[in-house]
Structure 1
Amino acid sequence: MDMPVRAHHRFWPLRLPHAIETPATSLWFNLAVSAQRYPDKPALVFFDRQTSYRELHDQAERLAAHLHARGVQAGDRVILFMQNCPQWIVAYYAILRANAVVVPVNPMNRAEELKHYITDPDARVAICAADLAGDLLKASADLPPVQQLTHLVVAHYHDAIGPQADIPPAWAEWLGTRHPLPSWTGGSATDWAEALACTEPAPVHDRQPSDLCVLPYTSGTTGLPKGCMHTHASLMHNAVACQLWTGGSAANVSLVVVPMFHITGMVVGMHSGIYTGATLVLMPRWDRELAGRLISAWKVTHWSNIPTMVIDLLASPRFDQYDLSSLVFIGGGGAAMPQAVAQRLLEQFGLRYAEGYGLTETAAPSHNNPPDAPKQQCLGIPFLSVDARVVDPDTLQEMPVGEAGEIIIRGPSVFSGYWKRPDATEAAFIEFGGQRYFRSGDLGRVDEDGYFFITDRLKRMINASGFKVWPAEVEALMFRHPAIAEACVIGTRDAYRGESVKAVVVLRDAARGQVTEQQIIDWCRENMAVYKMPRVVQFVDALPKSGSGKVMWRLLQEQEPA
């Protein structure tokens, strides 16, 4: 890819090219190669149990054979629905090995939300954690028979944990409970161990770089989440680029706590590590004391995270008991890193926190701070093989240095388009300088050194601890409550999360005086992922509307700080 010379190249990491050629193989090949190179090396660590590269490869082969025996064909979409754990990685690579397409689903989603992840990708088979199977089957049962799931592979986190595991007390019941294998008419379920005991042959692996491999969903300003079509090539590029950028080698030990259903955990955490032959130390959820113990015990070298995790760990009363001296790279994104915290990392550990920026559509990083020359509160510079510009959102003319406009992005990691949404795909791309660029929907500016800074969002989005919350999706779910006539969702300041979700609600006449704000909040907790649910509900008599009848959400948002 031809890369124009730009201002930021003066700060480019030494010994790195500005662009790389993407390997012409499938992502499955990365695991196959690492298993041949490092068969006995720990690929995964989960609490006290290690999984070698040979074991990881062989388990994925067996699960792929099981999927094939259950009728999964090349190109079929398979749902993957669980928290970070060894089975998640086995399942992901098994789906790829079976020539199918991974549909990673946020395990915080509830039954009402899950229907869309079954119907939109036309998924018939799912691999899920045992504690989540009920929600998935409840969602499936509410669909017409022709759209329902037909097969489930069910895994228990506990089966991947050894006898000496140091489990946070609050997780003991969640991780330790055995759930009965679900049974339902019209479908079958197989226990994880039984699926891995499959003796059938796996299909011939035939995926090319241009074939679809994963369909992560992203919510937007309007309507239901959209599937982002990523190929083996688009994810492969950033898998390779991330390990180059961070000085990766097979000696790396990475703490993988950013969820792997999310594009950052998937690409930066999993794919880059498997390509490199690194050891991945997995956490199913965030717990600062567990993170401190794992970094110390396993001599973690690389940690990609959300800044709130670092803030939380540094605030631990036990922090002086943890040894962070093994860390050589720390960075992340999703929210700005407070300057005081970045300064403490530098002074106490000699670590420069490298912020990055990317979207589901760009396979995680499209921008990253050079590890040796980062700027604070900054998105960084365009990543390997990426060209990014700031343009006027209306005229599409490039903006001068320092002036805000929409960030547009071109590069091999950019997605192919939105699944079944040619209209949305067309709207997401523009032609600039004779090339096709993706419109990020984010407003930013570029300084004289070529570093990018975010200034605002064109799209209406709330950023709660790095989780992206799209008001239109939350509103659509809230409208299902029988007492709600109208709802407008906005962001409200939160000292810890940065932003939280607030719903301004108009009740139906019959419900006034009968329903409380807390009852609405409780209902939301039952019916949507907890990070999306409003933490604050405010009842009003009417929402402000424009002359055309549209709710003036921007006015409510501007009034909120007061």
Structure 2
Amino acid sequence: MFDRHYAVWPKGVPKHLTLPATSLYENLELSVRRYPTKPALIYYGSALSYAALKDHVDRLAGWLEHVCGVRRQDRVLLYMQNSPQFVIAYYAIQRLTAVVVPVNPMSKTEELRHIARDTGASTILCGQDVFAFAQPLLGHELQHAIVAAYADYVTPYHLRPNDIVQPDVVAAPRMPVPAPAIAWNDTLAANHAAGPHKATHDDWCVLPYSSGTTGAPKGCLHSIRGVTATLFGSIAWNPATPESVQLVTLPLFHVTGMQNSMNAPLFNGATLVLMTRWDRKVAADLIRRHRVTHWRNITTMCVDFLSDPDSANWDLSSLIGIGGGGAPMPKAVAAKLKEFTGLEYIEGYGLSETIAATHINPVSNPKPQCLGIPVFDVDSRIVNPDTLEELGPNETGEIVMAGPQIFLGYWNRPEETAQVVFERDGKRFFRSGDLGYYDDEGYFYLVDRLKRMINASGFKVWPSEIEAMMYAHPGIREVCVIATADAHRGETVKAVIIPNEGATLTPDDVQAWCRERMAAYKVPRVITFAESLPKSATGKILWRVLQDEERAAAKPDAAD
């Protein structure tokens, strides 16, 4: 057991957690019994109590069971922006002991098709803003669609004081929903009653998608036990009370937002202040209005927030905890944040395969640009990626970890699961694919990635997936996707293309083609053309050669 970090373990915090035996839905039930009239959600000035939240969850679950035929362990796609409907849909699926498949709302039709086919899901719950991408799947991969208008949970302007600026997608009125899809409000109006809730910690719970190490996106299957480990751990590591108010700006389809900004606060009886789209001025307004106490974000959000010329005048006095990850927090930004709030930015580290954090900085003793230390019941080590031999402090190798939150495996991919897990000391370790080291005190640091992955503002982009899609372009003969430095996003996507003979391509044309077929964060921001690509003796494109050249060119002394 790795215990070097115990010397800096937070005082008064246990090293082992006895996990509650309740399911996610039962967590909500208990909060409703304790705080029925308390606001569970606040959405652009409109509140939904805990009792009302559960009522909507139960009625939606009844429709899913009786009309859509959702049964225990069935997979259900959840394809929405942050909204009350996302939270309600998530817990309605849990109510049936089915499996939530959270889908990035930036995904397009072909990306949806892959996930629908891979999971065998027949039902999707989606926002009306993205329904057009799901509609072609109805009658084919999908049989049922429930379409939500976010405006339904916002009180009209003339009925509420202190108007808050809403993004267009929230202000948009409800649109007609063509059959066989059905409008969200119609499912609730039907008032179907779901059957008894029966769940154990071994039941499947959520199936977020990650590309793992190579190839098309893969589902990371988690049990209720694993999800409970990180949501309960979040509360124990960053103490909160039912009076806590959480600003929700992280996307809820992502495991960090799902666990730290939704499941943990609802377990605790706290209040969620939801934002559908990031807007720094609106975020500051919401912090002031609702006396927000906790805010989890990605580093780029915090950078944008503090770059506003008015940020020094914002009332942030209610904040008692702020942190996140996605990319190392620049020291200058962390210093500015501490000047404005008196708070340290607490960085952490986790993956889709670990359903949020396995490492977090101690609140009382954080280190900058650091992943943190292994949290409750996590045994994390550094190993040689070729031999799995354990390495010592300050030696760079692959970060591996064992713990209750480690996924059950990649959905229907036992061989690929076997490639990323191994047994040692009677424990099942997961290979993160990330290169790092730990210092003498047991703090872990990220150095590089074994995985071929691009981290664009916290969104994970998998080059092989982008390449596979770009090869469908009639003018592209060969393409290699790599990461390139970006002042705002940290990293962004670059495509090096060999055009087909006679093809006339421009970067703008290729980007426009990509925008029609893939999520915006995946579209290459930089496109160059070449006569050849480096290849191995077997003809395999040597992407790492291009990546190394790109990083070398980006170094400050590259021109010397």
Tell me the TM-score normalised to structure 2 length: 0.95
Tell me the residue number matched to 1:553: 543
- Supply the AA of the counterpart residue of 2:35: Y
1:282 equivalent in structure 2: 274
Matched residues in 1 for 2:425 and 2:144: separation? 48
Of 154, 163, 170, the residue aligned with 2:156 is 163
| CA displacement, residues 228-269 of structure 1 (integer Å, 9 cap, x when unaligned) | 111111101111110111111111100111000000000111
Indicate conservation of the 8 Å contact 1:445/1:454, yes or no: yes
CA distance in 1, matches of 2:2, 2:417: 29
- CA separation in 1, counterparts of 2:76 and 2:228? 20
CA distance in 2, matches of 1:534, 1:168: 31
**Hey, what does 1:364 align to over in structure 2?**
356
> Is 1:426–2:418 an aligned residue pair?
yes
151, 168, 173: which one aligns with 1:172 = 168
Give 1:417's match in structure 2, choosing from 388, 409, 422. 409
> Once the 2 structures are TM-superposed, how far is the Cα of residue 314 of structure 1 from its aligned partner?
0.7
Counterpart for residue 509 of structure 1: 501
Aligned-pair CA distance for 1:5: 6.6
Out of 64, 81, 87, the position equivalent to 1:83 is 81
Q: Which residue of 2 aligns with 1:541?
A: 531
List per-residue Cα deviations over 1:324-358 (Å, max 9, x = no partner).
Answer: 11111111011000011111222332101110000
Distance 1:427 1:221 in 2: 9
Q: What amino acid is aligned across from residue 49 of structure 2 in structure 1?
A: S
Q: Which amino acid aligns with 2:229?
A: H
- The answer for unaligned runs of 5 or more in structure 2 is 554-560
SS at structure 2 position matched to 1:509:
coil
Deviates more, 1:43-52 or 1:309-318: 309-318
Cα distance in 2 for partners of 1:541, 1:196 equals 58
Residue number in structure 2 paired with 1:479: 471
Q: CA deviation at 1:219?
A: 1.6
CA distance in 2, matches of 1:326, 1:259: 23
SS at match of 1:88: helix
Partner of 1:220: 212
Correspondence for 1:197 among 189, 192, 201: 189
Counterpart CA distance in 1 for 2:398 and 2:505 is: 42
> Are residue 53 (structure 1) and residue 25 (structure 2) matched?
no
Structure 1 partner of 2:134: 136
Contact 2:215 2:464 in 1 (8 A): yes
8 Å CA contact 1:479, 1:486 repeated in 2? yes
Residue 154 of structure 1 is matched in structure 2 by 147
Structure 1 15/411 Cα, relative in aligned 2: closer, same or farther at 3 Å?
same
Contact 1:370 1:380 in 2 (8 A): yes
> Residues 101 and 208 of structure 2 are in contact (CA less than 8 Å); yes or no, is this contact kept in structure 1?
yes
CA deviation vs aligned residue, 1:287-337 (integer Å, no higher than 9, x gap): 111111111111111111101111111111222342111111111011000
> 2-side partners of 1:426 and 1:374: how far apart?
35
Determine the structure 1 residue equivalent to 2:20: 23
What is the distance in 2 between the residues matched to 1:535 and 1:15? 48
1:125 paired to 2:123: yes
Please give the alpha-carbon distance, in whole angstroms, between the structure 2 residues aligned to 1:130 and 1:174: 10
Within-5 A mapping of 1:114-513: 114-138=112-136, 140=137, 147-164=140-157, 166=163, 168=165, 171-172=167-168, 175-183=171-179, 188-511=180-503
The Cα shift of 1:463 comes to 1.0
How many angstroms does 1:108 deviate by?
A: 0.1
| Residue matched to 2:556 | none
CA distance in 2, matches of 1:58, 1:416: 32
SS at match of 2:445: strand
**Counterpart contact for 2:213–2:433, Cα < 8 Å:** no
Letter of the aligned partner of 1:229 in structure 2?
L
Mapped to 2, the partners of 1:502 and 1:220 lie a distance apart of: 20
- For residues 206 and 42 of structure 2, what CA distance do their matches in structure 1 show? 24
Q: 1 CA distance for matches of 2:190 and 2:266?
A: 24
- In 1, Cα distance between the equivalents of 2:59 and 2:426? 47
Of 79-88 and 201-210, deviating more is 201-210
CA distance in 1, matches of 2:276, 2:127: 12
**1:500-546: CA deviation from partner (whole Å, max 9, x where unpaired):** 100001111131xx221210011111110001110011111111111
Which of 499, 519, 522 is 1:532 aligned to?
A: 522
Equivalent residue of 2:468, what SS? helix
Residues 63 and 198 in structure 1, CA contact (< 8 A), matched pair in contact too = no
Please say if residues 214 and 230 of structure 1, whose CA atoms lie closer than 8 Å, have aligned partners that are also in contact: yes
**Is residue 361–residue 372 contact of structure 2 (8 Å, CA) maintained in 1?**
yes
* Matches of 1:410 and 1:17, distance apart in 2: 18
**Farther-moved stretch of structure 1 (58-67 vs 191-200):** 191-200
Q: SS state of the match for residue 527, structure 1?
A: coil
TM-score, normalised to structure 1, is 0.95
Measured in 2, the distance between the counterparts of 1:325 and 1:51 equals 25
Task: Please provide the CA RMSD for this pair.
Answer: 1.4
| Counterpart residue identity of residue 348, structure 1 | F
Which piece of structure 1 moves more, 363-372 or 200-209? 200-209
Which moves more between the two structures, 189-198 or 252-261?
189-198
Q: Which amino acid aligns with 1:309?
A: M
Whether the aligned pair in 1 keeps the contact of 2:2 and 2:381 (CA below 8 Å) is: no
Instruction: Identify the range of structure 1 (198-207 vs 435-444) with the bigger mean alpha-carbon deviation.
Output: 198-207
Q: CA deviation at 1:199?
A: 2.9
**CA distance in structure 2 between the partners assigned to 1:100 and 1:124 by the alignment:** 12
Of all paired residues, the percent bearing the same amino acid is 49
Listed one character per residue, the Cα deviations across residues 24-60 of structure 1 (whole Å, up to 9, x for unaligned) are: 1211101000000000011001101001100111110
Q: Tell me, which stretches of 5 or more residues in structure 1 are unaligned?
A: none
Say which is worse superposed, 127-136 or 320-329, in terms of deviation.
320-329
**Residues 176-217 of structure 1 deviation map (CA, whole Å, 9 limit, x = unaligned):** 14322023xxxx222111111223320111111100011111
Pairing 1:32–2:29 present: yes
Deviation at 1:68, TM superposition (A): 0.7
Count of residue pairs brought into register by the alignment: 547
Query: What is the rounded CA distance, in whole Å, between the counterparts of 2:327 and 2:13 in structure 1?
Result: 27
